[in-house]
């Protein structure tokens, strides 16, 4: 059930991105953009589509906001993988954009994918009312720019050269910015599309986002690089503070599990309709990539 | 008169950007963003503000769209200056962001400035009607992303390693994407804010944008690096085709002058009210930076 829904969200988003990029000129830049938005779990897209479904908004509409958040996520990965940032050669089991093309292309692909994200949110298909689209754009800007994701990436880089490792509060804040804000946006897009209160799904996404990052730190230590499709053990090698180094493995696993319980509780008002989102929460801490 | 208007537009935009960034967290990323949006001629901001004035929209409103285009322009410069792109150490007479900070910061500053541009356009102060803001965002996305400015930058990089130099049509298309699209957007923002036909100012901006680039190529050969605040003679050293190499210096100057005449003709319907925009066109081919 959940696996089907996840796969279907991934297919719908891929089709939407393919269709949109088909209107772009037939040049290497567009090829590289297409490459960068291919693959991945599409967890953020799934959260948009399932969150929207809870409020009666159909996938044929919510897929535009879902495609936008995946374009934005893809841009952040392409830039994050650059030699001057995390310097990763492998992403989703394939060569990263700067390896397959070159660094200049990777910078420009990331730039164009960010633009694409806002373009998708501004398109009429995303929401009939312009004011709804504006709300999606404003919340996306806050979640992803210098007050959100990009701030978190900067904090992450700074932490690598800091004299003392970050403490638990600092790591939590860093991760809330770096990955939490965009996960939260994804869950809130549905109620925004429906013109409803974002409160319940914000609560769900807060807990989910933090659990996601703790699970990432656990995977960095215990995971299988083959299944993960990316280099592991990076944080340990870099001597970076993580939830695992700060809490210990057992406590980190307990904390992640508690957060998933909290995420599930936040879905109580929706009853059975929220079953896919409940399973998504379990998936987040059980995933291998 | 024109110099006053240009200086005033610059002051208004700087104040708007300062005010907006004051709401950002007090961290090095924000400092570097502030640095990157400081200085420059603010020609694009001036086009927005003067274009809007022609249609009865006051600077206190149009300054938001003007600030957006300057944030977007600044992002493109920060990324363009990166070692993997143009590798420039000097911009506006000061060290570039990756020299003063580092490459990772420069990537993230550019990313966050692009987000800021869309955030400014989405803000209520930019236009009371959400549909107007959406139109500004959509046209900005088309002008700046993989179908506009970023495409032009990619074409520019590709031209450096091409086996045969570009011909005049190819250079014209490249420049229309790389710098023309954003200059055109700047001139069209005013009529969009006023809900009026963008035709006359689009015509003006088309001619102006091309003249701007021809003037840049002339400055690259004849200019004074001290006054320009950036390295010159780059294209000649790189053996790149330019308007000067393709047309010869005399013909390039004549072409730029003809285009300025054409830009001025497009302003005829506005009479004396368009005097500042007329002088801006003359300024574009006479400037030294």
- pLDDT value for A215: 92
Once rounded to an integer, what is the mean pLDDT over residues A23-48?
96
Chain A / chain B CB contacts < 8 angstroms: 145
Look-up of token digits 């319980």? A261
Closest alpha carbon to B122 in A76, A121, A64: A121
* Residue B284: band (very low, low, confident or very high) from pLDDT cuts 50, 70, 90: confident
Could you report the per-residue pLDDT of A36-66, keeping only the tens digit for each?
999 888 999 999 999 999 999 999 999 999 9
Above 80 in pLDDT, residue A183?
Answer: yes
Above 90 in pLDDT, residue B230?
Answer: no
* Residue A234: band (very low, low, confident or very high) from pLDDT cuts 50, 70, 90: confident
Q: How far is B276 from chain A (nearest CA, A)?
A: 32
Residue pair A29/B155 in contact (Cβ under 8 Å)? The answer is: no
Residue pair A181/A251 in contact (Cβ under 8 Å)? The answer is: no
Cβ B114–A115 below 8 Å, yes or no? yes
First and final C-alpha spacing in chain B: 20
Neighbours of A224 (CB within 10 A): 11
On average, the pLDDT of chain B sits at 93
Cβ B103–A118 below 8 Å, yes or no? no
Once rounded to an integer, what is the mean pLDDT over residues B190-209?
95
Residue pair A54/A270 in contact (Cβ under 8 Å)? The answer is: yes
CA quadruple B25, B31, B34, B38: dihedral, nearest 10: 170
How many independent structural domains does chain A possess? Answer: 1
Of the residues A145, A155, A161, A162, the best mutation for testing chain B's interface (the one with the most B CB atoms within 10 Å of its CB) is A145
Residue A202's domain spans which residues? 2-286
What CATH number did the domain enclosing A137 receive?
1.10.600.10
In this prediction, the answer to ipTM > 0.90 reads yes
On average, the pLDDT of chain A sits at 93
Alpha-carbon distance B3 to B249, whole Å?
28
Q: Residues 6 or more apart from A266 whose CB is under 8 A from it?
A: A200, A201, A203, A204, A207
For residue B99, which residues of chain A lie inside 8 Å, CB to CB? none
Above 90 in pLDDT, residue A162?
Answer: no
For residue B28, which residues of chain A lie inside 8 Å, CB to CB? 154, 158
- Return the sign of the alpha-carbon dihedral for residues A51, A55, A60, A66: negative
């Amino acid at each position: 059930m959940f696996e089907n829904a996840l796969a279907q969200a991934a297919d719908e988003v891929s089709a939407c991105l393919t269709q949109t990029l088909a209107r772009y000129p037939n040049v290497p830049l567009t090829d590289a953009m297409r490459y960068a938005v291919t693959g991945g779990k599409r967890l953020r897209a799934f959260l948009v589509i399932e969150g929207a479904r809870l409020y009666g908004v159909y996938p044929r509409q919510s897929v535009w906001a879902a495609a936008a958040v995946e374009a934005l996520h893809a841009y952040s990965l392409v830039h994050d993988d650059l030699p001057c940032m995390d310097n990763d050669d492998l992403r989703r089991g394939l060569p990263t954009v700067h390896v397959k093309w070159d660094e200049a292309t990777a910078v420009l692909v990331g730039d164009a994918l960010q633009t694409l994200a806002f373009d998708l949110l501004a398109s009429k298909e995303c929401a009939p009312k312009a004011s709804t689209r504006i709300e999606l754009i404003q919340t996306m800007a806050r979640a992803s720019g210098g007050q959100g994701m990009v701030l978190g990436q900067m904090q992450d880089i700074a932490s690598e050269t800091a004299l003392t490792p970050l403490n638990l509060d600092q790591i939590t804040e860093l991760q809330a910015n770096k990955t939490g804000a965009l996960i939260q946006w994804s869950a809130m897009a549905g109620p925004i599309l429906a013109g409803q209160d974002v409160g319940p799904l914000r609560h769900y996404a807060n807990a989910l986002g933090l659990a996601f990052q703790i699970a990432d730190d656990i995977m960095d230590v215990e995971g299988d690089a083959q299944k993960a499709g990316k280099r592991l053990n990076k944080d340990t090698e870099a001597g970076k503070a993580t939830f695992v180094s700060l809490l210990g493995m057992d406590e980190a696993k307990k904390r992640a599990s508690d957060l998933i319980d909290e995420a599930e509780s936040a879905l109580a008002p929706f009853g059975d309709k929220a079953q896919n989102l409940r399973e998504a929460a379990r998936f987040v801490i059980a995933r291998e990539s």
